[in-house]
Amino acid sequence: MSLKNQVVVVTGASSGIGALTARMLSERGADVILAARSADKLEKIGAELRGSFKLLTMDVGDDLSVADGFQEILAQYGRVDCLLNNAGYGKFTYCDEMPLAEFSAMMNVNYMGVVRCTKAVLPYMKEARSGRIVNVASLAGKLGTAKSTAYAATKHAVLGFSSALRQEVREYGIKVTTINPGPIDTPFFDLADPTGHYVNNVKGLMLKPERVARAIVAAVEKGPVEVNMPWAFGAGAKLYQLFPRLADMLSYRMLNKK
């Protein structure tokens, strides 16, 4: 679809992939709503944008914040043509060392945030019999590695939700896409990997954020079922589906870099 005058909501838009993608969408003529918790960070991003946009302080982890945020969006624009669920975070540590509260908090943002925002727009998309929902998951949702038990579980949940939702909304002309990247060179790792150990081990494999943002914009335009990147990591995930024991052995040796 053409992005000209399309109303696109981007969550987690105050930094990293969200901010870059919002900028690219705006440059292509979309009416972009940048949603994030930090008003200060949003203001800095907004100062760099061209075109039509709205800055919205919203916490995807809070029911009321999401309800109020989308009520404001719909009151101003009357519709949402595309929802880009990008908000999320990770922390890498062993299962027995991570507090239960952190498991719950991560699931609340990474997975339930997707559910909240999707439920907010779905009735309007179904009525319009059109729309795009693009969920930024991760290849961790296809192939888990050590120290990512909480994070990988949230992304597995996003993939399962997206797959089931795709079947539910197909008859309404709504397309659901998942973006499944490997490690990306963004501030995500400031929290996920504060020691820098993982980043140092995989820096040669890290994706450039601009590349991922371009892939997301292309997905908004074309509506594929999923995008896996880089290709080699996507192939590894497929190998796991076909030969789980072999893939588990290989991933233990090659991918456990955290």
pLDDT at 238: 72
Closest CA relative to residue 188, chosen from 59, 89, 92, 103: 89
Contacts of 17 (CB under 8 A, 6+ apart): 86, 136, 184, 186, 209, 212, 213, 216
Longest dimension (CA), the chain: 53
Q: Is the pLDDT of residue 179 over 60?
A: yes
Domains in the chain, CATH or no CATH each: 7-254 (3.40.50.720)
Lowest model confidence (mean pLDDT) among 49-53, 105-109, 169-173, 204-208: 204-208
Which residues are registered as beta bridge partners of 82?
8, 132
- The DSSP letter of residue 144 is -
User: Whole-model pTM?
Assistant: 0.88
* 80 phi/psi in degrees, rounded to 5: -130, 115
Residue 198's pLDDT band (cuts 50, 70, 90): low
Q: Kindly state the tokens that stand for 207.
A: 């994706």
Lowest model confidence (mean pLDDT) among 59-73, 128-142, 174-188, 232-246: 232-246
Q: Is the pLDDT of residue 171 over 70?
A: yes
d(CA 256, CA 258): 6
pLDDT tens sequence across 199-256:
565 565 677 889 999 999 999 999 999 999 877 676 667 766 776 777 676 666 555 6
Average pLDDT for 46-65: 95
Three-class secondary structure of residue 57 per DSSP: strand
pLDDT at 207: 78
pLDDT at 174: 98
More confident residue, 12 or 204: 12
Q: Is the pLDDT of residue 112 over 90?
A: yes
Closest CA relative to residue 163, chosen from 180, 184, 181: 180
pLDDT at 115: 99
Closest CA relative to residue 181, chosen from 250, 257, 232: 232
Tell me the H-state helices in 80-132: 100-110, 112-128
pLDDT at 187: 63
Catalytically active residues are: 151
Contact 237, 227 (CB under 8 A): no
Quick one: how many helices (H) and strands (E) in the chain? 11, 7
